[in-house]
């Protein structure tokens, strides 16, 4: 046996050993559930992601099962297993029921097949008869493994275990058939590449490229869910690169491949596309560790989306000036609108859209600080405009430095260090993160004897401008400034 073959065999045997230990360690409640199905003359098997994760030595939070039982039979067994009737209907029309016992949650689905009509966004579901047939409809061989219960027999008709050991992603049936049945599997392919450090088998990759346009029949919500999983994985860059290489991005995130056309105004070594991917990598490096409770805890979806899309407006604003200079004036403003439009089309929630587009809009605000440090007033405005996005803006701004000129990179880093120190000093002095006028609306109405209305808002805005410019005024000076503004306004 050659050395590569011996190494592959060793990895495969290690995977089998890991998986066997994980299956044996399943909760006692699961073993009991398997015995109940067996006693009823029915089959039950752990399937999909939990089996794959066990092979990888990971504990899966989800316990998904497939069964020969029809939903009414599954329900009857679950009622006895849960003891207290803790079951729920997760989609009876698709054959799926859920249950819980002593904190152990399960989802059980009847063997099935499902396909997509060429013009439909919804699957057509029919019950199947065998475990092997059910596994054949799974997206990839690494997810087409099952463990029969209670025997713990590993069922792997498509060599998913070997593929996982080799790091290969392929479909259990012809890839054209698999992706035609459910085009979302193409998005899942690029997601698994970035999430599980796999490589797509050539025929599978070719099928994605040929059928990429078919992703447009899938609902925006389902596509968005896969994109979020990709973006919050350990290596989103590789998945995004594959989306571009295989043509999926043309239909899901067309602004991404369009950035390959734009060279930034400083003629640096990276085009805007490569620059944006690098900024994404660097922003991830600045996240706080998962579970640490720190700012921008990994994975920070808002920060990552903003890093990827921060220069989305450059292709639309590219202009050629005299002397061959290329400019992208106001690309941050245009980009903020473009980012919001794309995220809306992908069915992202309003809060995420608002935060990402605001970060895109603000990402150039620091530009020029190194050459001309700001006044305290400008620092206050920077903090106020960022609001609760300040920590993300700090990281996005730092990540946006991709120059190979180390001297320039160090200068920019020192300048931003200084800005953060100034923000911290002002924060100690005057609660800079929550800047408000020295007088609130009630005080303004009392001093000027005004009812609620537009004039109170104008007075509030005037006092806020003074607060930004001069820092805390104190109630006495603020009242004097307010009365002077009101008198000047009356005279005008």
44-76 exposure pattern, b = at least 16 Cβ within 10 A, e = fewer: bbbbbbbbbbbbbeeebeebbbbbbbebebbbe
Measure Cα distances from 227 to 170, 242, 452 in Å.
Answer: 20, 13, 46
**For the residues 275-304, what does the mean pLDDT come to?**
94
- Helix H or strand E encompassing 319: strand 319-320
Class of domain 3-166: alpha beta
- In 52-210, which ranges are E strands? 64-67, 87-91, 96-101, 104-110, 112-116, 123-127, 146-149, 154-155, 168-169, 199-200
Segment 50-56 shows an average pLDDT of 89
Cβ atoms of residues 155 and 146 within 8 Å: yes
Pick from 212-221, 330-339, 444-453: least confident: 444-453
CATH number for the segment(s) 254-434: 1.10.3210
| Ranges assigned E (strand) in 92-216 | 96-101, 104-110, 112-116, 123-127, 146-149, 154-155, 168-169, 199-200
What pLDDT was estimated at residue 366? 87
Report the distance separating Cα 3 and Cα 53, nearest Å.
27
Q: What is the mean pLDDT of the chain?
A: 87
Comparing 181-185, 342-346, 455-459, which segment has the lowest mean pLDDT? Answer: 455-459
* Top-confidence residue, 461 or 282: 282
Whether the pLDDT of residue 269 is over 50: the answer is no
Q: Residue 7 corresponds to which tokens in the numbers above? A: 């190494």
Strands (E), 30-86: 44-47, 64-67
- What pLDDT digit, counting tens, does each position of 291-340 carry? 888 889 999 999 999 999 999 999 998 888 777 777 888 999 999 999 99
* pLDDT for 81 beyond 70: yes
Mean pLDDT check: name the lowest of 30-39, 162-171, 278-287. Answer: 162-171
Determine contact, residues 179/207, Cβ cutoff 8 Å. Answer: yes
pLDDT greater than 90 at residue 426: no
The proportion of the chain whose per-residue pLDDT surpasses 70, expressed as a percent, equals: 92
The pLDDT of residue 5: 67
Neighbours of 232 (CB within 10 A): 16
Q: Whole-angstrom distance between the N-terminal and C-terminal Cα of the chain?
A: 95
The DSSP string of 411-470 is HHHHHHHHHHHHHHHHHHHH-GGG---SS-HHHHHHHHT--SSHHHHHHHHHHHHHHHHH
Q: What is the average pLDDT across 215-241?
A: 96
Q: What is the CATH number of domain 167-252?
A: 1.10.110.30
Summarize pLDDT for 120-132 with one digit per residue, the tens: 555 566 788 899 9
In the predicted model, is pLDDT for residue 113 greater than 80? no
Longest dimension (CA), the chain: 97
| Residue 473 vs residue 340, higher pLDDT | 340
pLDDT at 268: 43
Per-residue pLDDT tens for 142-167? Answer: 999 999 999 999 999 999 999 998 89
Domain extent listing, the chain: 3-166, 167-252, 254-434, 441-491
Asked if pLDDT for residue 448 goes beyond 70, the answer is: yes
Confidence bin at 200 (pLDDT 50/70/90): very high
Mean predicted confidence (pLDDT) in 204-225: 96
Structure token digits, residue 465: 């401008």
Q: How far is CA 131 from CA 47, 217, 218, in A?
A: 10, 29, 27
- 35-49, 83-97, 250-264 — which one is most confidently predicted on average? 35-49
**∠ CA(333), CA(336), CA(339), 5° rounding?**
150
- Which pLDDT belongs to residue 411? 82
pTM over 0.75: yes
What separation in angstroms does the CA of 246 have from each of 19, 66, 79, 207, 306? 33, 33, 47, 9, 23
């Amino acid at each position: 046996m050659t050395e590569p073959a011996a190494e592959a065999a060793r990895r495969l045997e290690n995977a089998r050993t890991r998986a066997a230990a994980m299956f044996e360690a399943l909760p006692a409640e699961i073993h009991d559930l398997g015995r109940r199905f067996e006693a009823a003359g029915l089959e039950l098997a752990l399937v999909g992601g939990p089996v794959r994760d066990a092979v990888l030595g990971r504990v899966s939070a989800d316990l998904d099962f497939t069964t020969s039982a029809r939903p009414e039979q599954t329900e009857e067994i679950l009622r006895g297993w849960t003891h207290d009737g803790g079951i729920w209907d997760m989609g009876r029309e698709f054959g799926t029921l859920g249950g819980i016992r002593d904190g152990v949650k399960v989802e059980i689905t009847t063997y099935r097949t499902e396909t997509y009509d060429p013009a439909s966004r919804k699957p057509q579901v029919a019950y199947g008869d065998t475990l092997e047939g059910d596994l054949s409809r799974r997206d990839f061989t690494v997810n087409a493994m099952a463990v029969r219960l209670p025997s713990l027999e590993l069922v792997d008709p498509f060599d998913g275990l070997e593929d996982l050991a080799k790091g290969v992603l392929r479909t259990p049936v012809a890839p054209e058939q698999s992706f035609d049945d459910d085009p979302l599997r193409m998005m899942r392919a690029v997601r698994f590449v970035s999430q599980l450090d796999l490589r797509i088998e050539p025929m599978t990759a070719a099928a994605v490229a040929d059928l990429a346009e078919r992703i447009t029949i899938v609902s925006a919500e389902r596509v968005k869910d896969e994109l979020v999983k990709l973006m919050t994985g350990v290596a989103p860059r590789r998945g995004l690169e594959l989306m571009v290489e295989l043509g999926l991005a043309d239909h899901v995130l067309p602004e991404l491949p369009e950035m390959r056309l734009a060279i930034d105004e400083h003629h640096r070594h990276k085009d805007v596309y490569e620059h944006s991917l690098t900024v994404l990598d660097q922003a991830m490096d600045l996240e706080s560790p998962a579970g640490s409770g720190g700012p921008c805890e990994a994975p920070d979806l808002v920060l990552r989306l903003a890093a990827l899309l921060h220069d989305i407006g450059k292709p639309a604003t590219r202009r050629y000036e005299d002397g061959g200079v290329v400019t992208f004036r106001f690309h941050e403003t245009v980009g903020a609108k473009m980012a919001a439009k794309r995220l809306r089309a992908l069915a992202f929630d309003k809060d995420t859209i608002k935060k990402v587009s605001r970060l895109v809009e603000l990402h150039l605000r620091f530009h020029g600080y190194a050459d001309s440090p700001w006044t305290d007033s400008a620092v206050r405005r920077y903090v106020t405009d960022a609001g609760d996005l300040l920590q993300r803006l700090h990281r996005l701004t730092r990540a946006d430095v991709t120059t190979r000129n180390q001297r320039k990179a160090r200068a920019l880093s020192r300048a931003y260090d200084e800005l953060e120190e100034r923000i911290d000093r002002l924060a100690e002095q005057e609660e800079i993160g929550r800047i408000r006028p020295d007088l609130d609306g009630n005080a303004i109405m009392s001093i000027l004897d005004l009812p609620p209305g537009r004039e109170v808002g104008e007075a509030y805005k005037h006092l806020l401008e003074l607060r930004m410019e001069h820092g805390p005024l104190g109630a006495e000076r603020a009242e004097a400034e307010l009365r002077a503004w009101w008198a000047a306004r009356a005279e005008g």
